[in-house]
């Protein structure tokens, strides 16, 4: 990725406002030193996926793919399977995602729309703390970049970041939260269901690839404003 593109991504990351817009056998756990304006209730913990929930991974990945000569097939945006989006093999996609996730660009992802504003409110006004569970990479440098990215965007709201291997399922990471009834926010259906099966209050953030999903006990949410209202029971 060129220096110009990295600069552009960083500018987008830094300029995201705080106002609403009109697996694997091993895992790395990062604990952030945090202070809070309101002492959190131990029960007030929100577990979140990173890519597609906190961070706009797809935006940066699509730029990176274009720079490397890949174009989407017609109608590919609605498919979670990236191999179908670009008309390439799944093995090639796995390699490309791993390379991207371990590149410098991974430290400069912009926040999902309105995530900064509503996470700040949930943290400062309602005392919630956040743990991120992300299937990013086991590469230490990639993990440091992710920590930097999340800390830059969301400040001290995050007290823990769990990094799994690239694309790893999350059942094992969710085991320690089993039966707690904490909130769990995901966009991948399989991981959302893993959270529900672990006894978590699960929200599925709507994207093109999951918009037709239905589950009696998993709430579909359209955006962070919707997430805030569901969690707090208050109008945003």
Task: Tell whether 82 is covered by a domain.
Answer: yes
Model confidence pLDDT, tens digit, residues 89-103:
999 999 999 999 999
What is the domain extent for residue 83? 60-105
How many whole angstroms separate alpha carbon 198 and alpha carbon 155?
Answer: 28
Q: What is the pLDDT of residue 24?
A: 33
Stretch 187-211: mean pLDDT, rounded?
A: 95
Task: Tell whether 10 is covered by a domain.
Answer: no
- With a cut of 60, say whether residue 59 has pLDDT above it: yes
CATH value at residue 134: 3.40.50.1000
Non-local CB neighbours of 124 within 8 Å, separated by 6+ positions: 36, 37, 38
**Do 142 and 222 fall within a single domain?**
yes
- With a cut of 50, say whether residue 26 has pLDDT above it: no
Task: Tell whether 86 is covered by a domain.
Answer: yes
**Do 161 and 50 fall within a single domain?**
yes
Question: pLDDT higher for 22 or 19?
Answer: 19
- With a cut of 60, say whether residue 159 has pLDDT above it: yes
Task: Tell whether 37 is covered by a domain.
Answer: yes
Non-local CB neighbours of 202 within 8 Å, separated by 6+ positions: 183, 184, 185, 186, 192, 193, 195, 196, 217, 218, 219
Return the closest-CA partner of residue 50 out of 177, 211, 198, 160: 160
Task: Tell whether 20 is covered by a domain.
Answer: no
Lowest-confidence range among 23-27, 61-65, 139-143, 159-163? 23-27
Task: Tell whether 19 is covered by a domain.
Answer: no
**Do 210 and 160 fall within a single domain?**
yes
**Do 118 and 156 fall within a single domain?**
yes
Task: Tell whether 7 is covered by a domain.
Answer: no
Q: Cα angle vertex 151, ends 146, 154, to 5°?
A: 120
How many whole angstroms separate alpha carbon 163 and alpha carbon 141?
Answer: 12
**Do 127 and 216 fall within a single domain?**
yes
- 3-state DSSP helix/strand/coil % of the chain, to nearest 5: 45, 15, 40
**Mean pLDDT, the chain, whole residue set:** 86
**Do 96 and 161 fall within a single domain?**
no
**Do 82 and 199 fall within a single domain?**
no
**Do 98 and 175 fall within a single domain?**
no
Q: What is the pLDDT of residue 17?
A: 43
Task: Tell whether 21 is covered by a domain.
Answer: no
CA distances from residue 184 to 19, 58, 78, 101 in whole angstroms, order as listed = 24, 21, 23, 23
How many domains are contained in the chain?
2
**Do 172 and 217 fall within a single domain?**
yes
Q: What is the pLDDT of residue 235?
A: 92
- With a cut of 70, say whether residue 34 has pLDDT above it: no
How many whole angstroms separate alpha carbon 227 and alpha carbon 234?
Answer: 10
**Do 94 and 208 fall within a single domain?**
no
Tokens of 139: 């590469």
Question: pLDDT higher for 194 or 31?
Answer: 194
**Do 50 and 64 fall within a single domain?**
no
Mark which of 105, 134, 162 sits at the end of a domain: 105
Q: Do residues 158 and 151 touch, judged by C-beta distance below 8 A?
A: yes
Q: Do residues 118 and 112 touch, judged by C-beta distance below 8 A?
A: no
Model confidence pLDDT, tens digit, residues 102-120:
999 999 999 999 999 999 9
- With a cut of 50, say whether residue 197 has pLDDT above it: yes
Q: What is the pLDDT of residue 236?
A: 82
**Do 200 and 120 fall within a single domain?**
yes
Indicate yes or no: pTM above 0.75: yes
Helix (DSSP H) and strand (DSSP E) numbers for the chain: 9, 7
- Residue 22 pLDDT level (bands cut at 50, 70, 90): very low
Q: What is the pLDDT of residue 29?
A: 54
Mark which of 45, 71, 105 sits at the end of a domain: 105
């Amino acid at each position: 990725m060129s220096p110009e593109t990295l600069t552009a991504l960083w500018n987008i990351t830094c300029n995201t406002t705080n106002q609403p817009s009109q697996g694997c056998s091993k895992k790395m756990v990062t604990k952030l030193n945090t202070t809070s304006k309101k002492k959190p209730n131990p029960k007030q913990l929100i577990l979140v996926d990173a890519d597609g929930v906190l961070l706009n991974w797809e935006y940066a990945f699509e730029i990176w793919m274009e720079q490397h000569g890949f174009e989407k097939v017609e109608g590919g945006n609605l498919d979670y399977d990236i191999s179908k989006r670009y008309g390439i093999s799944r093995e090639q996609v796995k390699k490309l995602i791993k390379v991207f996730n371990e590149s410098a660009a991974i430290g400069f992802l912009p926040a999902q729309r309105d995530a900064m504003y509503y996470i700040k409110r949930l943290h400062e006004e309602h005392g919630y703390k956040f743990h991120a569970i992300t299937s990013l990479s086991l590469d230490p440098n990639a993990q440091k970049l992710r920590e930097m990215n999340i800390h830059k965007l969301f400040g001290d709201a995050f007290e823990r970041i769990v990094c799994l291997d690239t694309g790893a399922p999350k059942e094992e990471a969710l085991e320690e939260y089993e039966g707690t009834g904490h909130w769990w926010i995901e966009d991948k259906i399989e991981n959302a269901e893993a959270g529900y099966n672990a006894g978590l209050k699960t929200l599925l953030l709507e994207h093109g690839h999951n918009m037709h999903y239905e589950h009696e006990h998993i709430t579909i949410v359209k955006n962070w404003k919707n997430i805030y209202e569901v969690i707090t029971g208050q109008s945003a």
